Amino acid sequence: AQKITQTQPGMFVQEKEAVTLDCTYDTSDQSYGLFWYKQPSSGEMIFLIYQGSYDEQNATEGRYSLNFQKARKSANLVISASQLGDSAMYFCAMRDLYGGSQGNLIFGKGTKLSVKP
């Protein structure tokens, strides 16, 4: 069965510094996708970044990058130059891309990031 583990319930980071949010996963699928979502206090789920299991390069989207280490089954999110608006809950998620597990997205329990001024 697929599983996502986020070991950091909460984290603090100083404004303008970089921060890494940890995510490890477990799956027997060969083709899978890893996703990160942000949930601010207003509650909506905002898609941040995606990494495919066969992608050779780490994904980047602006200040977000995904540190993908396939052999270690980790997909850590790196936020560079933290801003106050980055304070939110962050969820790591994964799903099979080609039909296994019906392609359902499963989530970790989340990490609450607080950015200090």
Partner 1 sequence: EAQVTQNPRYLITVTGKKLTVTCSQNMNHEYMSWYRQDPGLGLRQIYYSMNVEVTDKGDVPEGYKVSRKEKRNFPLILESPSPNQTSLYFCASRPGLPGGGELFFGEGSRLTVL
- Residue showing tokens 């597990």: 101
Among 20, 24, 100, 105, binds partner 1 (CB under 8 A): 105
Task: Measure the CA–CA gap between 52 and 73, rounded to whole angstroms.
Answer: 12
The one segment of 22-30, 62-70, 71-79, 97-105 that binds partner 1 by CB under 8 A: 97-105
Among 56, 85, 98, 117, binds partner 1 (CB under 8 A): 98
Binding mask 15-54 for partner 1 (x = CB under 8 A): ------------------x-x-x-----xxx-x--x----
Three-class DSSP category at 73: coil
Task: Measure the CA–CA gap between 25 and 94, rounded to whole angstroms.
Answer: 8
Count of residues for the chain? 117
Task: Measure the CA–CA gap between 74 and 23, rounded to whole angstroms.
Answer: 6
The residues of the shown chain that bind partner 1, judged by CB under 8 A, are 9, 33, 35, 37, 43-45, 47, 50, 91, 93, 97-99, 102-110
